[in-house]
Amino acid sequence: MFLTCEGTFGIVPATMDYSGEARPGDFHAGYQEIEGINLGYLQVNGTQMFALAQVLSDLFKDIPRTTISKKMETLKIKSRRCDLKELRTLKAINSVPTRAVKCSLISKADLEALCTSCKSLSPRR
């Protein structure tokens, strides 16, 4: 797998079939700054998806995980399990530890809602 970087944005080349079309299930990876923290993401089917592990460890590090879980439940935020290819890509861009065997993804829209909901819980930066 090759990872190319253009500035602060990395792209994992989409797998192409012989007709030049990207196959379904392909995705791009990159970085986005949210709340002053650079988070890696996967662009899957037009939706930015962030690794929940990185969100919890970097963005919400001062908030107990049980509190975040309750907020997600209240906001009806669902995460989805990433597949092996996605996991390998997240490892390559350092969004999850290399020893990770599974990972959950959360959409950008859900992440923004969670950030808004948790604003009052974290200390000011």
Spatial distance between the Cα atoms of 120 and 122, rounded to a whole number of angstroms: 6
Residue range 28-117, CATH number? 3.10.260.20
Going by C-alpha positions, the residue among 55, 3, 57, 54 that lies closest to residue 27 is: 3
Average of per-residue pLDDT across 15-29: 53
Domains of the chain, by residue range, sit at 28-117
DSSP string, 24-83: TT-EEEEEEEETTEEEEEEEETTEEEEEHHHIIIIISTTS-HHHHHHHHHHTT---EE--
Token pair for 24:
């379904």
pLDDT beyond 50 at 55: yes
Each residue of 78-122: pLDDT tens digit? 999 999 999 999 999 999 999 999 999 999 999 999 999 988 776
